[in-house]
Amino acid sequence: MKNKKPYKPRSYLISWNVGLAVFSMMGTIRMASEFFFVLSTRDFKDSVCLAINPTDISALWACLFVVSKVFELVDTLFLILKKKPVIFLHWYHHAIVLVYCWHSAIMLTAASRWFIMMNYAVHSVMYTYYGLTAYGLRFPKLISMSITTLQTVQMIVGVYISCYVALVKWYYHDVCHQSDSNLLFCFGIYLSFAVLFMNFFIKSYLSKGALKKKDT
């Protein structure tokens, strides 16, 4: 494998990314109706503390979201076939999200309404970008910077929601549909993701090496 030339699965890569982009867009649309209905008819606390109605169509798309995390591991396979470096952020993110999503599904975590909605929306943009670049289109660096910024903001919002739920449960002793174990797990991974994505942003776009590469 080491001495073999990198495999270039261009057509498969395009199809894969376009497929995930379309799936994410459909998930965003399906989750958005329930998400914004809750925000408009209830308060913020209910949006993070009351679980999704299992009879609502958004519950199906929440389940599909969890299952999709298994298939997203194919992203790593493409990197290996192309002999691209699999950085820590990539494999850690895919592995830990897979575990957390299944844990949240079992625990019927209410805050997943936010996490799933954000992830579907960000992935709609991200996989569209990946599909277009796999096709051969090139974009200004501002586009990839914007996508990384969206990912980072997603993680920061995740940290905020975790802190909010902790306040509701442990300070006000109010009802919130998220187990203590899931909450601690959630806070830990979102905090680590926020730090890792900010570090990735700095190294990729703000470091001396990145700025020098931009100038040349």
Could you write out the DSSP letters of every residue in the chain?
--SSPPP--HHHHHHHHHHHHHHHHHHHHHHHHHHHHHHHHS-HHHHHHSPPPTTSHHHHHHHHHHHHHHHTTHHHHHHHHTT----HHHHHHHHHHHHHHHHHHHHT-TTHHHHHHHHHHHHHHHHHHHHHHHHT----HHHHHHHHHHHHHHHHHHHHHHHHHHIIIIIS----SS-HHHHHHHHHHHHHHHHHHHHHHIIIIISHHHHHHHH-
52 and 113 Cβ atoms separated by less than 8 Å: yes
139 versus 207: the higher-pLDDT residue is: 139
Q: Per-residue pLDDT for 216 more than 60?
A: no
Tokens of 144: 């990839």
Average pLDDT value for the chain: 93
Rounded Cα distance, 199 and 89, in Å: 10
Active site annotation includes 90? no
In the structure, what pLDDT confidence band is assigned to residue 212 with cuts at 50, 70 and 90?
Answer: low
Q: Average pLDDT, stretch 94-120?
A: 96
Give 172-188 pLDDT, tens digit per residue: 999 999 999 999 999 99
Q: Average pLDDT, stretch 45-68?
A: 96
What does the pLDDT read at residue 82? 83
Rounded Cα distance, 181 and 116, in Å: 19
Rounded Cα distance, 58 and 35, in Å: 9
Tokens of 206: 């703000």
Tokens of 65: 């979201």
In the structure, what pLDDT confidence band is assigned to residue 10 with cuts at 50, 70 and 90?
Answer: confident
Dihedral over Cα of 135, 203, 90, 186: its sign:
negative
Work out the percent of the chain whose per-residue pLDDT is above 70.
92
State the pTM of this model: 0.92
Identify the top-confidence range among 51-55, 110-114, 211-215: 110-114
Q: Average pLDDT, stretch 148-154?
A: 98
Q: Per-residue pLDDT for 2 more than 60?
A: no
- Which residue in 93, 94, 123, 177 is the catalytic one? 93
Contacts for 69 with CB less than 8 Å, ≥ 6 apart = 94, 97, 98, 101, 102
If we measure between CA atoms, which residue out of 74, 84, 80 comes closest to residue 23?
74
